[in-house]
Amino acid sequence: MIGPVLVTGAGGFIGSHLARSVLEHGHRVAVIERDRPRLSGLDLQGIRDKATVVSGDVADTALVRRVLVEYEIRTVFHLAAQALVGVANRSPESTFETNIAGTWRLLEACRGLDLSAIVVASSDKAYGGQERLPYCEDASTLEPRYPYDVSKACADLVARCYASTFGLPVVVTRCSNVYGPGDVNLSRLIPEVAISAARGVAPIIRSDGSPERDYLYVEDCIRAYRVLADRAAGPLVRGEAFNVGTGEPVTVLRLVVTALEAAGRPDIEPVIKGTARHEIDRQYLDCAKISARTGFVPEWSLERGLTETVRWYADNLRLFTPGPGSAR
């Protein structure tokens, strides 16, 4: 990875971990912050004073280009997005504007500059409901149906278009469900369960507990981003999409039970509602491509990752407004 580095979405969960990791590896980091929420990842990671924070919107092409030029950026990690499925269902227009238009505007700002890597965050949701499992990058088509999934698939295609047409050193990540300390979006499964366990409250599973997903610990996710950035200009990586996950699907019920055990609360019984809708039943990834082309393999087991995660929420329970948990 060549610095200095721009991380978009650095106030979010994954982006803040990535920015912190880049700083720890000795690179200067610039971030663009539109809003400053009460629980910003920059503050949770303790890096606000270590990064260069520019006020503005990543959808502002002129602003992004100014940041790229003035701060002599060489590597870009584009993670800024509207990342919540529920919000996307309620507000598709703003989701499309942020996730799709925001991506092409950022790439337009990058066009013509001497950059070593542009890593763009897509998602395993871009695949939609494929019949073939596990999902593999050689799938003939992406088949998303719901707003969030469609927005990520479109951004995925746009990013690879800029590599093919304009020669930008773009690489796309399709990560599975990433979890770990510092995720403040409590509508996500693992933060809800961890907080419920810390409060001694039974988590509510909105599905019937049977949907399967692949869960990736955030430190493995960040390492994959760095590995791909190191190789983005190479012929085996430039313009390619890479699945990043463990390849080991876990049911929602098993995940919840494992998290409760990691929190030392195996006595708590989750409540299964079975009311979730518009969700893909089984979704997990074939990650052979990233392993073969870069040597990357995950290092964190589910049990180890959940132990670190639930400990963080227990230690930081004061940050969250009291209330009952409600897992998926």
How far apart are the C-alpha atoms of 47 and 216, rounded to whole Å? Answer: 23
The CATH-assigned architecture of domain 5-177+215-244 is 3-Layer(aba) Sandwich (3.40)
How far apart are the C-alpha atoms of 184 and 316, rounded to whole Å? Answer: 11
Task: Look up the pTM and report it.
Answer: 0.93
Determine contact, residues 119/228, Cβ cutoff 8 Å. Answer: yes
- 212-221 pLDDT, tens digit per residue, is 999 999 999 9
Beta bridge partners of 271: 204
CB atoms near residue 30 (< 10 Å): 22
How far apart are the C-alpha atoms of 242 and 287, rounded to whole Å? Answer: 8
Q: Which of 64, 73, 79 lies closest to 27, judged by CA? A: 73
Q: What is the pLDDT of residue 322?
A: 56
Active-site residue, 148 included: yes
Of 3.90.25.10, 3.40.640.10, 3.40.50.720, 3.40.50.2300, the CATH number of 180-214+248-281+300-319 is 3.90.25.10
State the DSSP code for 289: H
Cis peptide bond N-terminal to 37, omega within 30: no
- 233-269 pLDDT, tens digit per residue, is 999 999 999 999 999 999 999 999 999 999 999 999 9
How far apart are the C-alpha atoms of 172 and 15, rounded to whole Å? Answer: 15
Helical packing angle, 218-231 and 13-24, nearest 10°: 60
Would you state the structure tokens that stand for residue 66, as one six-digit string? Answer: 């100014």
Domain ranges of the chain: 5-177+215-244, 180-214+248-281+300-319
- Catalytic-role residue among 135, 148, 215, 313: 148
Q: What percent of the chain has pLDDT over 90?
A: 82
Q: What is the pLDDT of residue 131?
A: 83
- Phi/psi region, residue 274 (left: phi>0; alpha: psi -120 to 50; beta: rest), is left
Helical packing angle, 61-70 and 102-110, nearest 10°: 40
- 285-324 pLDDT, tens digit per residue, is 999 999 999 999 999 999 999 999 999 999 999 998 654 4
Going by their DSSP bridges, the two strands 271-272 and 204-205 should be labelled as: parallel
How far apart are the C-alpha atoms of 296 and 135, rounded to whole Å? Answer: 18
Determine contact, residues 224/296, Cβ cutoff 8 Å. Answer: yes
